[in-house]
A and B are shown apart, each in its own frame.
Chain A
Amino acid sequence: MNTSTSTFVRTEMLPQQAPPITEAGAVKWLRENLFSSVLNTILTILGVAAVAYLVMHIAPWLSRSVWNANTLSECRQIITERYGEGATGACWAVIRERWPQYLFGFYPSHLYWRPVLAFVLLCVAVAPVLFDKLPRKMLWFSLVYPAVGFWLLWGGSVWVPVMALAGFAIGYAAARIVKPLAGTIIATIAAVLAPVLWWLFLAGPAADAMQSILPVALQAVRSREFGGFVLAFTIGFTGIAFSLPLGIMLALGRQSDMFIVNKLSVGFIEFIRGVPLITLLFTASLLLNYFLPPGTDFDIILRVIIMVVLFAAAYIAEVVRGGLAALPRGQYEAADALGLDYWKAQRLIIMPQALKISIPGIVSTFIGLFKDTTLVVFVGLLDPLKGITDAVRASTDWKGIYWEPYIFVGTIFFVFCFAMSRYSMYLEGKLKTDHR
């Protein structure tokens, strides 16, 4: 104690020095990450061995790939000729030969340009939504795209999608006209009711009337002819586009003080989450027919899309609710104190933050939705994974092929899901402004 009482005053500050050599570079990395303890060392060795084992078994098979053959037996013959008796190899020729079927299912082959064009336009429509550097005016095309895509894929009279779009214009007009007369609440009801009535009763006759005046139509394609990745993308992207807004509304409904809105949202979310997707798909394909008036032609893909949207929306609602719950109450209070009304506060303050928090969960739900599109095989639609592959394997040419189609389809799904995952990470990084 005595020695510590002597006075000490530092006159100059110490400069920063480089760390010792063992604390930097590859040596440090290896020591810290691979061989930090006995257990870690054992795990490292086991891991390397497992990877080596897998590569040793798969690499030869992959390296003996055959891309040009018309049947499985021809393919096997080529492998035997090249690599000797008993050699096995991958027969990718099946993908090459059945490529159109994997992409388009049984879509009429002379109309392939339509799904291709729809896909290209989809990319154009999605781009401004994903990347805010692009001109904002492009968003108008994104809004119209669902109608364009629908018309290109299913064909028929152009007036059907046009009249469907007109419903939104009618809803907007109804809100604008009613609001000064009867207030916000009545205007909101009018904005919902007017388009619904339009779609139910007037849109059909109006489309027919316009078609008879000015016939513009593409050759119609029936939903049963859809298949492969066209089907998966149609259901997947429509599901993603519509489930997000519906999920947000459900999350807000669940937070609402209004008793009926709250209980309806809770009931909906809990019911949909408590039921397997396949049940909903069966309901869509079989049960609905019993309830609908006989002779109603309610498109099967449309029914499936509705179910997929409802299913994903329930999950998204819960993910978004998590984001909402993570926001401090002060954010709501500050918005209130500044005089922002409920919808403005939600749009400008609450949702941008809540959605940012929920990005990983939302994208997980989207990835799940996209992969779940393969389940439509259970209601008789030709999904790429099982529907098309079974059709391919049922042909005499490719009877007995096993791994290649599944690996191919899996790879395509992986590419898209991985892209979504990467995009979500990019978005999180870009929106990170809290500097914690």
Chain B
Amino acid sequence: MSEATALDLDTRKIDRSQMQVSNEVAIQISQMNKWYGTFHVLRDINMTVNRGERIVICGPSGSGKSTLIRCINRLEEHQQGQIIVDGTELTSDLKNIDKVRSEVGMVFQHFNLFPHLTILENCTLAPIWVRKTPKKEAEEIAMHFLRKVKIPEQANKYPGQLSGGQQQRVAIARSLCMKPRIMLFDEPTSALDPEMIKEVLDTMIQLAEEGMTMLCVTHEMGFAQAVANRVIFMDQGQIVEQNSPKEFFNNPQSDRTKLFLSQILGH
């Protein structure tokens, strides 16, 4: 499958004019460690993400890649080290956590739309209740982003009435309505039928073209090659290798990376 999407993406012309990496630091992680009970899931993670970067994190399952990006908006708590997001350090201080969460958008593997609310309500909920945006304005913003992900006509339906790909696009729109400065994607296409992966990837590429800072945990290597400026490979809770996509795919350095690439690209 990954080869098929890679081909699709090659044919799509990507506008790189706004894809610029600035010197401003968006996320700074230093000496970060995390344990689940006695299990050491993340070991000595050091990484800096500059504004405008598009980073793809890959690795075998259980390597800690999802846990890493979930630490960035504190869905998981780290025990050692420092995570600074947009100048705010993540500590147990609830104020900081809420501040970071309202600046960082997150898209989940299973969409996690709110099934009891319409698409429009899903999108306006956080702006209204967290940002205190007036309802009317929030609805306008929501419709703007729903048009952007190309499903404005579904605004008054419920999530259960939409296909997986549409739901994931709504989830992206819902995050965007908070006008986040950073977007996290946790395997956004892994739960989708092959036919729907492309529509979600297209939406993500569109975001990248607009200069959004993005961290994606994904197995879509075509997407990594087309959009990412950096690929991070993780194994056993550690960053094993990071490089530009070109170098990463054509000239992997560590044996573990070579093995991983041969397994996912080999067939």
Contacts and interface: CB of A to CB of B under 8 A. Distances in A.
Interface of A: 328, 330-331, 333-334, 336-341, 344, 348-349, 352-353, 356, 431, 433-436
A348 B104 CA distance: 20
Contacts of A338: 101-102, 125-126, 130, 174-175, 178
Interface stretch (B31-39, B108-116, B135-143, B211-219): B108-116
B73 interface: yes
A233 B126 CA distance: 41
B160 interface: yes
B106 interface: yes
Contact of A336 (B75, B111, B125, B178): B75
A336 B175 CA distance: 12
B116 A352 contact: yes
Given A334-B114, A338-B130, A338-B178, 9 more contacts: A328-B110, A334-B113, A337-B104, A338-B102, A338-B125, A338-B174, A344-B130, A349-B125, A433-B116
A339 B101 CA distance: 5
Contacts of A433: 115-116, 158, 160
A331 B108 contact: no
A89 to B, nearest CB: 54
B116 A431 contact: yes
Interface of B: 73-75, 94, 98, 101-102, 104-106, 108, 110-116, 125-126, 129-130, 158, 160-161, 174-175, 178
Contacts of A435: 158, 160-161
B129 A331 contact: no
Contact of A348 (B98, B113, B115, B129): B129
Given A338-B126, A340-B129, A348-B129, A331 B112 contact: yes
B115 A353 contact: yes
**Sorted from nearest, which 8 A-B pairs have the closest CB atoms?**
A435-B160, A339-B102, A334-B112, A330-B112, A338-B126, A337-B106, A339-B101, A433-B158
Contact of A337 (B75, B110, B129): B75
Given A348-B125, A348-B129, A339 B114 contact: no
Contacts of A353: 114-116
Contact of B108 (A333, A340, A352, A431): A333
A434 B175 CA distance: 21
Contacts of B102: 338-339
Contacts of B112: 328, 330-331, 333-334
A349 B121 CA distance: 11
Given A339-B178, A435-B161, A344 B129 contact: yes
Contacts of A328: 110, 112
A431 to B, nearest CB: 7
Contact of B130 (A331, A340, A352): A340
Nearest to B113: A334
A434 B114 CA distance: 10
Contacts of A336: 73-75, 101
A356 B115 CA distance: 12
Contact of A331 (B98, B104, B114, B126): B114
Contacts of B175: 337-338
A336 B75 CA distance: 7
B108 A436 contact: no
Given A338-B125, A340-B126, A340-B130, A333 B75 contact: yes
Which of B105, B115, B125, B178 gathers the greatest number of chain A CB atoms within 10 Å? Answer: B115
Given A431-B116, A433-B116, A339 B126 contact: yes
A141 B14 CA distance: 60
A342 to B, nearest CB: 9
Nearest to A330: B112
Nearest to B104: A337
Contacts of B106: 334, 337
Contacts of A434: 115-116, 158, 160
Contacts of B174: 338
A167 B113 CA distance: 40
B125 A337 contact: no
A155 B108 CA distance: 58
B116 A356 contact: yes
A307 to B, nearest CB: 34
B108 A339 contact: no
A324 to B, nearest CB: 14
B156 to A, nearest CB: 12
A189 B34 CA distance: 35
A337 B97 CA distance: 10
24 contacts: A328-B110, A328-B112, A330-B110, A333-B75, A333-B112, A338-B102, A338-B125, A338-B126, A338-B130, A339-B98, A339-B101, A339-B102, A339-B130, A339-B178, A340-B125, A341-B98, A349-B114, A349-B125, A353-B116, A433-B116, A433-B158, A434-B116, A435-B158, A435-B160
A174 B142 CA distance: 37
Contacts of B116: 352-353, 356, 431, 433-434
Contacts of A334: 106, 108, 112-114
A354 to B, nearest CB: 10
A279 to B, nearest CB: 39
Contacts of A349: 114, 125
B63 to A, nearest CB: 20
A434 B102 CA distance: 27
A340 B94 CA distance: 11
B211 to A, nearest CB: 22
Contacts of B160: 433-436
